[in-house]
Amino acid sequence: MQIRTSLIFAGLSLALSVVSPAAHAQSRLATTQIRSASFASSKIGISPDRNVSIYLPAGYANSSKRFPVIYYLGYFFEDHSAPFANNDAKALFDRAIADRTIGDVIVVAADFSTPVGSSWYVNSPATGNWEDFMVRELVPHIDGNYRTLATRESRGLLGDGTGGYGAIRFAMLHPDMFGSVYAMQPFGTGPSIQPTHSRPDFDLLARAKSMDELEGFSRIFTSIYQAFSPNAERGPLYFDPPARRVDGRTVVDAPVMARFHERFGLMGLLPTYADNLKRLRGFKFDWGRQDPIADHIAGAQIFSNRLVEFGVPHEGEEHSGGFRDRHWGSEGRVQTDVLPFFARHLVFHAD
């Protein structure tokens, strides 16, 4: 790192001599709220006022230029502020732009969490229309209120876990809107080794009087089932369970399970949307070999292989890290892989 720093200083001193005024500009982290129409039908208490964080690079203030945008999609329970509050993302973006790892870029993070974890970024009669919120409200709002390069080529998606799922799914369904995708440790990729029905406690799901009683996998799978096996008539949890407990054994309801998987897994969506993914300028995802949940690894490997089967160019990289322990920091993958990826694949200037 010592060396690189010296390179950077060399670069900075050159920059200073030519464009010194710009060097004094500061990046800015703004927070705003959008009044949304997408959650009127939600059964789980989602506020129509949605919080959004917006990172504006140092170059934004003193110019009239337009900039590309990276939409950051968060992990379970993460709100709009998480990368900035927990991972010092503002300073990391500042440094990466200063050392030319990436050009000036806007980063937007909105709150896609629900009381039991994640919206999974989809429309659902149980949870509300999160996909609509993204593509009909958030992106237009950002393009309408900031100097963005409002084309797919200059619009990237970066997701983490559930957000990685959302990023790939948005790329499948809205190819005219997004041109590059990086998903860190995406969930919901391919088939699992351990059955999904081994994770939640179906006795608890059957007797729970409210979402507050849920915890661990039961809580997380409630968010999954509300998104992909929803039933707006079936409170208090508002989903059709793909399995139930009978005499101490788990019994699978195969037709419900079939519908659930038809909607959920990215591998299942792939045949329909492969051609849309082929239009991406850049498509990468990664995961850690030391993840203690073997299915995160197996699913991602199978999904990557399936992308090859359907001829979809991409990079699926398995690193030596554990579960979500390599994302941030000066040696993290946002620094070493994600930003160089967007530097290569986003368009940073109007034609």
- The residues in 324-343 that bind a second copy, with binding defined as CB under 8 A, are 330-331, 336, 340, 343
Give the Cα separation of 17 and 210 in Å (integer).
Answer: 63
Find the part of the chain contacting a second copy (CB under 8 A) among 36-44, 51-59, 156-164, 284-292.
Answer: 284-292
274 binds a second copy (CB under 8 A): yes
In terms of CB distance, is 85 or 258 closer to a second copy?
258
We find the least distance from the C-beta atom of residue 302 to a second copy, in angstroms, to be 6
Residue 138: CB minimum distance to a second copy, A: 24
Q: Is 255 in the site for a second copy (CB under 8 A)?
A: yes
Cα atoms in the 13 Å half-sphere on the side-chain side of 114: 31
Rounded CA-CA distance 273/169 in Å is 9
Contact call for residue 63 and a second copy (CB under 8 A): no
The one among 25, 29, 208, 347 contacting a second copy by CB under 8 A: 347
Of the two residues 1 and 248, which places its CB atom closer to a second copy in the complex?
Answer: 1
Q: Which of residues 125-164 bind a second copy (CB under 8 A)?
A: none
Distance CA 76, CA 216 (A): 12
Is 317 a residue that touches a second copy (CB under 8 A)?
A: yes
Region binding a second copy by CB under 8 A among candidate stretches 107-115, 117-125, 222-230, 264-272? 264-272
Strands 155-160 and 128-129: unpaired
Q: Is the N-terminal amide bond of 340 cis, ω within 30° of 0? A: no
Q: By CB under 8 A, what part of segment 80-109 binds a second copy?
A: 99-100, 103
- Residue 230 bridge partners (DSSP): 239
Per-residue CA distances from 208 to 128, 236, 330 (Å):
22, 8, 44
43 or 314, CB closer to a second copy? Answer: 314
| Span interacting with a second copy, options 38-46, 51-59, 211-219, 286-294, rule CB under 8 A | 286-294
Structure tokens at 112: 């896609």
Distance CA 166, CA 164 (A): 5
Binding to a second copy (CB under 8 A) within 179-198 occurs at 190-198
Told to check if 246 binds a second copy by CB under 8 A, we report: no
Q: What SS3 string covers 78-101?
A: CCCCHHHHHHCHHHHHHHHHHCCC
Binding positions for a second copy, 13-52, rule CB under 8 A: 14-19
In sequence order, what are the residues at sequence separation of 6 or more whose Cβ sits closer than 8 angstroms to the Cβ of residue 20? none
Q: Is 229 in the site for a second copy (CB under 8 A)?
A: no
> In this structure, are residues 323 and 292 in contact, taking their beta carbons and an 8 Å threshold?
yes
Q: Considering the complex, what minimum distance in angstroms separates the CB of residue 88 from a second copy?
A: 14
Q: Minimal distance in Å, beta carbon 17 to a second copy?
A: 7
> Considering beta carbons, is residue 37 or 251 the nearer one to a second copy?
251
Could you give phi then psi for residue 195, rounded to 5 degrees? -65, 145
- 245 touches a second copy by CB under 8 A: no
Give CA–CA dist 134/147, Å, rounded: 18
> Which range of residues in 27-35, 125-133, 163-171, 272-280 is near a second copy by CB under 8 A?
272-280
Binder of a second copy out of 26, 47, 86, 272 (CB under 8 A): 272
Contact call for residues 68 and 106 (beta carbons, < 8 A): yes
- Which of 109, 108, 115 shows the shortest CA–CA distance to 46? 115
Q: Which is nearer to a second copy, 33 or 305 (CB)?
A: 305
With contact defined as beta carbons under 8 Å apart, do 83 and 72 qualify?
Answer: yes
How many residues lie near a second copy (CB under 8 A)? 75
